[in-house]
C-alpha cells in the first residue's frame, strides 16, 4: 500500500512549470512523469495572518510546542557578513582568532550552498581591494547580486536524475554464485591494496552472514532491509572494481547494467529502513557502503550525518582509540572520522557531533591487522590537518595531540600545518608511481580526486593565513596558484573516460570541499584582467556542462557561468582570451604526464614554511593596472 502524504507546498517541478499541484508527496504530476518529487526551494515570507496565528499559538501554554528545524542555507538578506549581523544563535564557545569567525559558522544541519563560498570570497575582496576603478568594483558588487538571486531561486528538477524504480527492485540480491565470487576475490591479489581498503569496513564473515540470511530468508524484519542495502551496495562496488579490470567492452556494458541495478536495490532498501531503527554496526556498515555508491549530494549528506551519529551512539570512537575494536570497526570509524572532518571543514561548522581527536599512531594500536594502505593514510592525514585547523580556530587545547616531534603544533600551529601539508604532498607523489596498488580503481579519476582534495585544503589554509595576516609578500600569489592547481584537478576529473564515474566524483567533491578557488580566480580576473585565469574559468564551465545533470552540478555551473559573463567584458579581444594558456612553464613543474601544474617549491621542499610562499613580490589582489580597459 502506497502511503501518500498531504503537504502544504507545491513541489518544485509544478512550481517551475507553473501548473497545478495536488500537494501530495509524491504528487500526481511527478508520479505520471516517473521522477522524484522534491520540495527543496526556498520559501517566501509567510503572510501576516499566518504569522499572527503562530504568535498566538506560541503564547498559549496549553498547546504543545513544535521545535522548528532551522535552515542555515545562505541568505544574503538575513546574514549580512559585512555588517556582522546574523539571526543564528551562537554557541557558548570561545573563538580567540577573530579572523576565523567568518570561516567557521555554528550549525547543526548538513546543508551547504556554494553561494556561501561565493559571498564570502567576493565580499572579502571588496573589503581589501583598495583603489579599484569604479567599473571593476561595480562588477564585484554585481556578483553579490547574482549570488543573492541564485540563493533564492527555486530548485529546478533536472531531467535524467537517478530514480529508484519501485517495482521489483527490493527483491534484487546477489545469488549464491555471486556471493561466493565476492568472498573469494575481495581480499585476493587480483585487486590492488588501495581498493582493498574500500571493502574492509565489512569483514568476509559479516558479508557471508548477511548474504546467506537474505538467500535463505532467515533475517528478522529489523535486519532484512539493512542487510539488503549493505550487500547490494557492496555488490555494486565490487562490480565497479571488476569493470576497471575488464577489457571486453560488451562484458563491461553488461556488468555496468547489473551494477546499476544493485545500486538501485540498495538505495531502495535504505529508504525502507524505519527512522527509529536501533543503531547497530550493521546499519553503520550499510550507510558507509551506500555513501561509496551514491553520486547524489543530497543523499550523501544524509548518509554522512546518519553515519557519524550512529558512530557516537555505538561509542565506537572510544572502542577504537582504546585498542579494543575489530578490524571492521576500525575502518568504519576511520571512514566516519574522515567524512566528518571533511564536512566540518567544508561547511564551516564550528561544531560537529563526532568530536574526537584521532592519535597519529592509530595503526600502532592494531599491529596484528593488515596494514592500512598509503592512500587511505593520506586521506586520514588530510583529515588530521582539517581537525587541527578547526581545533586551533576554536581555541581548544592541542596538547593532547602532541608528541616530542610535534612541539611546533603548540606554539606555531600555522607552521605545523604547512609542514604537514608539504609532507603529505611528497607522499602523494610517491604513490602515483605504484601502478600495482591502483588495480581495480579508475586511477586517473582517483588521482585527480586526491590532488583536488589536497589543493582544496591548501587553498583554504592560505585563505585563513591571509585573513589572519600571517603571510609573507608572496602569500597572495601562492593563494592564486593553489586555486589554479585545484581547478586544474577538477578539469582532469571531468575528463574521466566514464561519464557516470566523473559525475559521481564531481558530486562527491562538491559535497566535501569548498569551491572558493573559482571565485578567487574571478576576483583576480576582475582586478587584473588575467587572460589565463579567464580561460581556466571557461574550461571549468565547459566541463561541468558536459559532466552530468545532477542538481548540485547544474547549480554550480549556473553560478560559475554568471561570473564568467561578468568578467568577460574586461577583454577587448575575446579571441585573444580564448587562445591564451593558463600554465606558465617557467613557474611550474608537473605532477606527472597529465599536465596538471604544481608549484615547484611545494614539491622540492623548503627549509621553513615561509619559503613555500617565496614567490615574486607581486600582490595580484593589491597591484593592478589602474587605467580603464
Please, what is the average pLDDT of the chain?
A: 70
Residue 320: pLDDT band with limits 50, 70, 90: very high
Which residue from 573, 575, 473, 563 is spatially nearest to 525, judged by alpha carbons? 563
Residue 502 parent element (H or E)? helix 499-512
Interval 533-555 mean pLDDT = 77
pLDDT tens digit sequence for 413-432: 777 888 889 999 999 999 98
pLDDT of residue 355: 62
Report yes or no: 150 and 144 within 8 Å, Cβ to Cβ: no
Alpha carbon distance 524, 143 (integer Å): 13
Q: CB-based burial of residue 35 (10 Å sphere; 0-12 exposed, 13-18 middle, 19+ buried)? A: middle
Interval 313-319 mean pLDDT = 91
Give the chain's domains with CATH numbers: 1-39 (4.10.240), 74-151+442-629 (no CATH)
pLDDT of residue 496: 65
- Between 542 and 394, the more confident residue is 542
Cell digits for 322? 582504546
Alpha carbon distance 463, 418 (integer Å): 13
| CB hemisphere CA count around 347 (13 angstroms) | 25
Alpha carbon distance 445, 105 (integer Å): 32
Residue 339: pLDDT band with limits 50, 70, 90: confident
Which residue from 405, 363, 479 is spatially nearest to 124, judged by alpha carbons? 479
Alpha carbon distance 308, 340 (integer Å): 7
Residue 433: pLDDT over 70: yes
Residue 154: pLDDT band with limits 50, 70, 90: very low
pLDDT of residue 160: 38
Which residue from 613, 309, 349 is spatially nearest to 481, judged by alpha carbons? 613
Alpha helices in 294-412 (DSSP H): 297-313, 316-321, 327-346, 374-394, 408-411
> SS3 of 597, please?
strand
Cell digits for 292? 561509496
Residue 233: pLDDT over 90: yes
- The CA-based angle 282-288-290, given to 5 degrees, is 100
pLDDT of residue 471: 52
Residue 487: pLDDT over 60: yes
Interval 327-334 mean pLDDT = 94
Other beta carbons less than 10 A from residue 28's beta carbon: 15
pLDDT tens digit sequence for 177-206: 999 999 999 988 889 889 999 999 999 999
Alpha carbon distance 175, 152 (integer Å): 48
pLDDT of residue 299: 76
Residue 75: pLDDT over 70: no
Interval 41-64 mean pLDDT = 48
Alpha carbon distance 164, 169 (integer Å): 8
Partner residues linked to 598 by β-bridges: 589
Residue 399: pLDDT band with limits 50, 70, 90: very low
Amino acid at each position: 500500500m502506497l502511503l501518500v502524504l498531504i503537504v502544504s507546498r507545491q513541489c518544485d517541478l509544478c512550481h517551475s512549470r507553473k501548473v497545478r499541484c495536488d500537494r501530495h508527496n509524491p504528487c500526481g504530476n511527478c508520479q505520471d512523469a516517473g521522477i522524484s518529487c522534491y520540495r527543496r526551494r526556498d520559501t517566501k515570507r509567510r503572510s501576516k495572518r499566518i504569522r499572527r496565528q503562530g504568535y498566538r499559538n506560541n503564547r498559549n501554554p496549553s498547546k504543545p510546542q513544535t521545535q522548528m528545524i532551522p535552515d542555515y542555507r545562505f541568505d544574503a538578506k538575513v546574514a549580512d557578513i559585512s555588517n556582522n549581523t546574523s539571526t543564528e544563535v551562537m554557541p557558548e564557545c570561545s573563538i580567540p582568532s577573530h579572523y576565523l569567525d567568518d570561516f567557521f559558522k555554528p550549525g547543526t544541519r548538513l546543508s551547504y550552498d556554494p553561494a556561501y563560498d561565493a559571498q564570502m570570497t567576493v565580499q572579502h575582496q571588496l573589503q581589501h581591494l583598495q583603489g579599484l576603478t569604479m567599473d571593476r568594483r561595480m562588477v564585484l558588487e554585481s556578483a553579490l547580486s547574482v549570488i543573492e538571486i541564485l540563493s533564492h531561486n527555486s530548485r529546478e528538477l533536472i531531467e535524467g536524475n537517478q530514480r529508484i524504480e519501485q517495482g521489483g527492485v527490493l527483491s534484487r540480491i546477489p545469488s549464491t554464485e555471486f556471493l561466493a565470487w565476492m568472498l573469494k576475490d575481495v581480499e585476493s591479489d587480483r585487486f590492488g591494496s588501495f581498493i582493498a581498503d574500500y571493502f574492509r569496513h565489512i569483514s568476509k564473515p559479516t558479508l557471508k552472514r548477511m548474504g546467506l540470511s537474505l538467500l535463505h530468508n532467515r533475517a528478522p524484519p529489523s535486519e532484512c532491509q539493512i542487510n539488503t542495502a549493505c550487500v547490494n551496495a557492496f555488490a555494486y562496488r565490487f562490480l565497479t572494481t571488476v569493470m576497471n579490470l575488464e577489457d571486453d567492452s560488451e562484458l563491461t556494458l553488461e556488468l555496468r547494467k547489473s551494477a546499476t541495478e544493485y545500486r538501485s536495490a540498495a538505495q531502495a532498501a535504505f529508504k525502507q529502513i524505519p527512522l527509529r531503527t536501533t543503531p547497530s554496526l550493521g546499519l553503520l556498515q550499510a550507510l558507509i557502503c551506500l555513501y561509496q555508491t551514491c553520486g547524489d549530494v543530497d543523499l550523501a549528506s544524509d548518509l554522512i550525518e546518519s553515519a557519524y551519529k550512529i558512530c557516537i551512539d555505538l561509542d565506537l570512537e572510544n572502542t577504537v582509540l582504546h585498542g579494543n575494536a575489530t578490524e571492521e570497526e576500525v575502518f568504519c570509524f576511520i571512514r566516519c572520522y574522515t567524512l566528518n572532518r571533511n564536512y566540518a571543514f567544508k561547511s564551516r561548522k564550528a561544531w560537529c557531533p563526532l568530536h574526537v581527536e584521532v592519535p597519529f599512531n592509530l595503526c600502532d594500536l592494531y599491529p596484528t591487522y593488515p596494514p592500512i594502505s598509503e592512500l587511505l593514510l593520506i586521506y586520514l592525514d588530510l583529515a588530521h590537518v582539517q581537525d587541527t585547523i578547526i581545533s586551533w580556530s576554536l581555541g581548544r587545547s592541542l596538547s593532547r595531540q602532541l608528541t616530542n616531534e610535534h612541539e611546533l603544533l603548540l606554539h606555531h600551529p600555522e607552521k605545523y600545518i604547512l609542514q604537514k601539508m608539504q609532507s603529505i604532498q611528497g607522499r602523494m607523489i610517491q604513490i602515483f608511481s605504484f601502478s600495482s596498488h591502483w588495480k581495480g580503481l579508475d586511477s586517473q579519476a582517483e588521482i585527480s580526486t586526491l590532488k583536488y582534495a589536497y589543493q582544496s585544503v591548501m587553498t583554504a589554509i592560505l585563505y585563513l593565513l591571509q585573513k589572519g595576516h600571517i603571510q609573507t609578500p608572496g602569500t597572495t600569489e601562492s593563494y592564486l596558484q593553489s586555486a589554479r592547481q585545484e581547478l586544474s584537478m577538477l578539469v582532469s576529473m571531468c575528463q574521466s573516460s566514464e561519464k557516470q564515474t566523473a559525475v559521481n566524483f564531481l558530486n562527491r567533491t562538491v559535497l566535501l570541499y569548498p569551491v572558493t578557488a573559482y571565485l578567487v580566480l574571478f576576483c583576480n580576473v576582475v582586478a587584473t584582467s588575467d587572460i589565463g585565469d579567464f580561460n581556466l574559468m571557461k574550461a571549468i564551465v565547459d566541463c561541468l556542462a558536459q559532466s552530468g545533470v545532477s542538481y548540485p552540478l547544474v547549480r554550480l555551473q549556473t553560478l560559475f557561468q554568471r561570473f564568467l559573463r561578468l568578467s568577460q567584458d574586461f577583454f577587448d579581444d575575446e579571441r585573444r582570451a580564448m587562445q591564451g594558456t593558463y600554465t606558465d612553464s617557467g613557474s611550474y613543474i608537473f605532477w606527472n604526464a597529465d599536465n596538471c601544474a604544481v608549484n615547484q617549491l611545494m614539491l622540492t621542499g623548503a627549509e621553513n614554511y615561509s619559503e613555500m610562499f617565496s614567490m615574486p613580490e607581486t600582490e595580484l589582489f593589491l597591484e593592478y593596472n589602474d587605467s580603464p580597459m
